[in-house]
Amino acid sequence: MSIWEYANPKKFIETAGRILPVLLPLAMGFLLIGLVWGFFFTPEDYKQGATVKIMFLHVPAAMMAINAWGMMLVASLIWIIRRHHVSALAARAAAPVGLTFTLIALVTGALWGQPMWGTWWEWDPRLTSFLILLLFYLGYIALWQAVENPDTAADLTGLLCVVGSVFALLSRYAVKFWNQGLHQDSTILKVGEKDPLDPAYYWPLIFCLIGIVLLFLALVLIGTVTEIRLRRLAVIEARERQEA
Amino acid sequence: MIALLIRDLRLALRAGGGFGLGLAFFLLVAVLVPLGVGPEGTTLAKIAPGVLWVGALLACLLSLDRIFALDFEDGTLDLLATAPIPLEGVVAIKAFAHWLVTGLPLVLAAPVLGVLLHLPQAGYGWLVLSLLLGTPGLSAIGAFGAALTVGLKRGGLLLSLLVLPLYVPTLIFGAEVVKRGAAGMAVEVPLLLLAGITLGAQAALPFASALALRINLR
């Protein structure tokens, strides 16, 4: 019994079919509890008022936007090294999800920034890096769609993901160098330090974070199963055309 | 390899090879920006470093698809891939040839366009130096993008979408060097980082590009 057994598409679909009915409601439950708790049962911030509650959507989306790219990088490396098709398809399935999370983070950030900083957009390092991340996602997805042969597409996008990761990291530090920030640092892991996140916000935020991780997993599983089925369909169609 | 370099240069310099197209584009950018922004010298001087770097970047982008596309179409690339010299070397040489016909003219033309944009006196040396250090990196990164999209019918637009995000660090450090230089500040840090990115791209990316070419030739 090793983890590579799940690289078998048949086994993967079976397992995903068993996990999903549990995973999806669990993700929705965590998100629902976290968001309702966060939006309606936490006090308002003394400086930011009710706008602080945008955090419960903004922070988890931003976190997953970055982690989704990390997952794509790992999946691409597994594809390049071990040639498991499921891995390449999982990377493909994760890209639109990551793109959506990036967009959510940018839009909620703009909505939050308008009342707080007095501007929808600021060329702050964090904001700019997210905009660049968005471009990387767009390029990755576009390359998947442009190449016809699925194996060639998987190889090329995998390569792009690896090289892109290096340049994304470089851009992150280049952008930091280029402009000083307006955006505050992360405070989730600062419990016990100076200026921590208020305990009243802590648990609802944790619920939202767990919920969004589970949601991401569920969406990627669904997407991967769909990609596998699409691939099978294409093979069946090609075979029928040949026989006809 | 030297024969390959000479061949690529000859093909580019021959009529219809597209030589000078990038240069003309660079000139157009430097003319169009003042027309759009207005003729005030102080405004232009302020944005000159950024405009010149963005212009150089876009001019570089313009001719990227020619690095491999023609050779891919007529089958030369298949021969090169099976030739005794490693494909990584072929890629590096082709990127170098691209730089010689695109990047180097840009470097030489940049000071003239700097005059058009009222670049401050102190900035000229740094402009030339930063472009000299940065454009070989642009060619190497661009060759990777061209290798990824070589088999595609309408790869041009996709190529820009793939390559431009990769150009971000080079652009930031390059423009920063000129900006600081023009303002008389210390430029060592961005200059070193710019050189580092170019050297890293020159050293590592030919391998990735060659891999992409092999995938596309399969």
A141-167 confidence digits (pLDDT tens):
999 999 888 889 999 999 999 999 999
For chain A, the average pLDDT equals 87
Q: How confident is the model at residue B152 (pLDDT cuts 50, 70, 90)?
A: confident
Architecture of domain A20-182+197-243: Up-down Bundle (1.20)
Contact across the interface for B208 and A147, Cβ inside 8 Å: no
Q: What is the pTM of this model?
A: 0.88
Quote the pLDDT of residue A1: 57
The partner residue sitting opposite B172, judged by closest CB among A135, A160, A174, is: A174
Residue B21 in domain: no
Give the dihedral of Cα atoms A171, A177, A180, A182; nearest 10 deg: 20
Residue B149 in domain: yes
- Three-class secondary structure of residue B164 per DSSP: helix
Residue B190 in domain: yes
- Rounded CA gap, B117 and B115, in Å? 5
Which residues 128-147 of chain A have a CB within 8 Å of chain B?
Answer: 132, 135-136, 138-139, 142-143, 146-147
Residue B49 in domain: yes
Give the dihedral of Cα atoms B172, B178, B184, B188; nearest 10 deg: 60
% of residues, chain A, pLDDT over 70: 92
Query: DSSP per residue over B15-79, as a string?
Result: TTS-TTHHHHHHHHHHHHHHHHH-S-HHHHHHHHHHHHHHHHHHHHHHTGGGTTHHHHHTTHHHH
Within 8 A of A138 by CB-CB distance, chain B residues are 161
Within 8 A of B168 by CB-CB distance, chain A residues are 132, 167, 170-171, 174-175
Contact across the interface for B173 and A138, Cβ inside 8 Å: no
Query: Strand pairing partners for B164?
Result: none
Q: Which residue has the tokens 């006809």?
A: A244
Helix (H) or strand (E) holding B101: none
Q: How confident is the model at residue A26 (pLDDT cuts 50, 70, 90)?
A: very high
Domain boundaries, chain A: 20-182+197-243
Query: Is B152:B145 a contact under the CB 8 Å cutoff?
Result: no
Nearby residues of A233 by Cβ (< 8 Å), 6 or more positions away = none
Quote the pLDDT of residue A187: 63
* Amino acid letter, B7: R
Residue of B172, B198, B205 best to disrupt the A interface, most CBs of A under 10 A: B172
Q: Which of B182, B176, B211 is nearest to B195 (CA)?
A: B176
B205 in reach of chain A (CB within 8 A): yes
The partner residue sitting opposite A152, judged by closest CB among B190, B197, B218, is: B218
Quote the pLDDT of residue A160: 94
Residue B3 in domain: no
**Does A71 score more than 90 pLDDT?**
yes
- When mean pLDDT is compared across A1-15, B53-67, B118-132, the lowest value belongs to A1-15
N- to C-terminal Cα separation, chain A: 42
A188 in reach of chain B (CB within 8 A): no
Q: What's the burial of B21, exposed, middle or buried (CB within 10 Å: 0-12/13-18/19+)?
A: middle
- Rounded CA gap, B38 and B186, in Å? 30
Contact across the interface for A142 and B162, Cβ inside 8 Å: yes
The partner residue sitting opposite A142, judged by closest CB among B161, B173, B208, is: B161
Contact across the interface for B165 and A139, Cβ inside 8 Å: yes
By CA distance, what is A178's nearest residue in B? Answer: B172
- Rounded CA gap, B29 and A1, in Å? 62
A169 in reach of chain B (CB within 8 A): no
Q: How confident is the model at residue B207 (pLDDT cuts 50, 70, 90)?
A: very high
Quote the pLDDT of residue A189: 56
Contact across the interface for B165 and A159, Cβ inside 8 Å: no
The encoded tokens of residue A121 equal 């957009």
- In 10 A of CB A13, how many CB atoms? 17
Within 8 A of A139 by CB-CB distance, chain B residues are 158, 161-162, 165
User: Domain containing B91: what range?
Assistant: 40-217
Q: Which of B49, B68, B87, B56 is nearest to B151 (CA)?
A: B68
Within 8 A of A162 by CB-CB distance, chain B residues are 208
A77 in reach of chain B (CB within 8 A): no
**Number of CB pairs < 8 Å for A and B?**
75
Residue of A156, A162, A177 best to disrupt the B interface, most CBs of B under 10 A: A156
The partner residue sitting opposite B208, judged by closest CB among A135, A143, A159, is: A159
The partner residue sitting opposite A143, judged by closest CB among B158, B190, B193, is: B158
B149 in reach of chain A (CB within 8 A): yes
Quote the pLDDT of residue B135: 94
In angstroms, how far is CA B173 from the centroid of its own chain? 15
Residue B192 in domain: yes
Please give, one letter per residue, the 3-state secondary structure of chain A: CCHHHHHCHHHHHHHHHHHHHHHHHHHHHHHHHHHHHHHHCCCCECCCEHHHHHHHHHHHHHHHHHHHHHHHHHHHHHHHHHCCHHHHHHHHHHHHHHHHHHHHHHHHHHHHHHHHHCCCCCCCHHHHHHHHHHHHHHHHHHHHHHCCCHHHHHHHHHHHHHHHHHHHHHHHHHHHHHCCCCCCCCCHHHCCCCCCCCHHHHHHHHHHHHHHHHHHHHHHHHHHHHHHHHHHHHHHHHHHHHHC
- Rounded CA gap, A85 and A88, in Å? 5
**Does B34 score more than 80 pLDDT?**
yes
A88 in reach of chain B (CB within 8 A): no
Nearby residues of B146 by Cβ (< 8 Å), 6 or more positions away = B64, B65, B67, B68, B69, B159, B209
Q: Which of A33, A29, A25, A48 is nearest to A203 (CA)?
A: A33
The encoded tokens of residue B178 equal 């000129």
Q: What's the burial of B19, exposed, middle or buried (CB within 10 Å: 0-12/13-18/19+)?
A: middle
pLDDT in tens, A161-200: 999 999 999 988 888 877 765 666 666 555 555 556 677 7
**What is the nearest CA distance from A155 to chain B, expressed in angstroms?**
7
By CA distance, what is B204's nearest residue in A? Answer: A163
Quote the pLDDT of residue B169: 92
**What is the nearest CA distance from B15 to chain A, expressed in angstroms?**
32
Averaging pLDDT over each range in A121-130, B24-33, B153-162, which range is the top one?
B24-33
Residue B25 in domain: no
Q: Which residue has the tokens 């600021």?
A: A122
Angle at A42 between CA A41 and CA A46, to 5 degrees: 145
Say which residue, A219 or B183, is predicted with more confidence: A219
Residue of B138, B152, B166 best to disrupt the A interface, most CBs of A under 10 A: B166
- Three-class secondary structure of residue B119 per DSSP: coil
